Amino acid sequence: MSVKPIFFALDGKSLNEFEFELKKLKNKIYGVKVGLEMFISEGPKVVTHLKNEGWNVFLDLKLHDIPNTVKEATKSAGNLGADYLTIHISSSKEALYEASVNKNESLKLLGVSSALTSKAIDKETSERVHLEFELAKESNVDGVICPPSEITKSLNIFDLIVSPGIRLKDDLSNDQKNITTPEKAIADGASYIVMGRSIRNNLDYVINELNI
């Protein structure tokens, strides 16, 4: 069975609460996402632990600060062993550039637009997203966190596209408005997708039946 292009979102305070899922998902999916809540609760050691367990780690901290602080935080994330790190594109072109030129070669920097998947995207917002993506590209950012509705339009800017807002067909959307299914996101051109609740609620299906 091939490894599915999925990051499992560890959205919680304790890594222990995901122990069962992590064991089942090992070697079945590409990696895990550590968000701000988990990172603050568990500390930087959570990244080291997951790397030692053989996981690709996506550190979703959405850096947003002055250029020097962003630069040093990016260096620290790379030293921890993180494979992917998010940064707000609105941090400024200078901050994006400082992060991109000071990161470890193995660390991929992912730009985050101000348009999140918790919001519906209209024409004006879509245009803003792509202006932000173009700025990120000019600043040597490796890829982007891309709302599902914008995946196909973003392929002419970035090859590395990570899409959140993924739900299985019969799942509730909950707090997300810009959503799609795993199959459509990958078919549209996403490199990787991020799934949390949909995996926890449908673990065996995702492992054994989801075909992406």
146 within 8 A of 172, measured Cβ to Cβ = no
Q: Per DSSP, what are the bridge partners of residue 77?
A: none
166 within 8 A of 198, measured Cβ to Cβ = yes
62 classed as catalytic: yes
Residue 203: both structure tokens together: 């673990």
The SS3 of residue 40 is helix
83 within 8 A of 110, measured Cβ to Cβ = no
* N-term to C-term CA, the chain: 11
What gap in Å lies between CA 111 and CA 109, rounded to an integer? 7
What gap in Å lies between CA 27 and CA 35, rounded to an integer? 21
45 within 8 A of 79, measured Cβ to Cβ = no
Q: What one-letter code names the amino acid at 79? A: N
Active-site residue (options: 51, 62, 75, 153): 62
Residue 76: both structure tokens together: 């620290």
127's CB contacts (< 8 A; 6+ apart) are: none
Catalytic residue numbers, as ranges = 62
